[in-house]
Structure 1
């Protein structure tokens, strides 16, 4: 099954609003990015057996930026 990531994100955002049931929310953009970034980094690291250089290349980040993000999410 080849479901685009955007479809999954769309479904989850719609579900989020359903759960809110009319309640207001703020900073949704930041919330979504923070919720997606940690698992993204974690899965890519797993796929590269912890190789940060390979992970950085896959993610399109330089290794220093990746290290900062890994520290931010306590993944080191």
Structure 2
């Protein structure tokens, strides 16, 4: 089984998204992609950090207050 990088997966998914638009004009791509990536990233990192927000924030390279704001924004409970 061939392994893919995250970058390759995102590129492939975006190319498929544009194909599937079938001539329609895209909009809000930045928000769509950010939401699609950020939420699962936060969930997986928090799971890896066993719910420890300080450790998760360190893993993400952001401060704990920023992490808490993002968790509130996405309504992620741990």
TM-score by length of 1: 0.92
2:41 corresponds to: 40
Measure, in 2, the Cα distance between the counterparts of 1:3 and 1:31: 22
What's the RMSD between the two structures over aligned residues? 1.2
Structure 1 unpaired stretches of 5+:
none
Runs (4+) off by over 4 Å: none
SS state at 1:7 partner: helix
What is the SS of the residue equivalent to 1:75?
A: coil
Map 1:1-76 → 2, pairs under 5 A: 2-76=3-77
Aligned pair count reads 76
- Provide the TM-score with structure 2 as the length reference: 0.89
* Cα deviation 1:18-72 (Å, max 9, x = unaligned): 1111111112112111111111100101111111111000100100000010011
- Structure 2 gaps of 5+ residues are none
Once residues 4 and 29 of structure 1 are traced to their aligned partners in structure 2, the CA distance between those partners, rounded to angstroms, is 20
